[in-house]
Amino acid sequence: MQLAAAPLSTHHTSAGVQRRLACRAAQPQQQLRSGRRARIDRQLVARAEVEQAAAAAATASGEFSDSEDRVPPGCARYTVELPKPLGLVLEEGQGGRGVYVAEILAEGNAARLAPEIGVGDELIATNGMVYTTEQEYQGNKVRGGEQYVRLNVRNNDFKTVMAAIGTIKPPRPVVLEFQRCQ
In this prediction the pTM is: 0.62
Model pLDDT for residues 75-92, shown as the tens digit of each residue = 999 999 999 999 999 999
Residues 176, 79: contact at Cβ < 8 Å?
A: yes
Residues 168, 81: contact at Cβ < 8 Å?
A: no
Q: How far is C-alpha 158 from the geometric centre of its chain's CA atoms?
A: 9
Q: Domains, the chain, ranges and CATH? A: 32-70+77-181 (2.30.42.10)
Q: What's the confidence (pLDDT) of residue 177?
A: 97
Average pLDDT taken over every residue of the chain: 76
Q: Report the alpha-carbon distance of residue 133 to residue 156 in Å, rounded.
A: 24
CA-nearest of 78, 79, 75, 57 to 66 is 57
More confident residue, 31 or 69: 69
Confidence category of residue 8, pLDDT binned at 50, 70, 90: very low
3-state secondary structure of 148: strand
Model pLDDT for residues 113-166, shown as the tens digit of each residue = 999 999 999 999 999 999 899 999 999 999 898 999 999 998 789 999 999 999
The residues with which 178 forms a beta bridge, in sequence order, are 78, 123
Q: What's the confidence (pLDDT) of residue 66?
A: 46
Q: Which backbone phi and psi does 113 adopt, to 5 degrees?
A: -105, -15
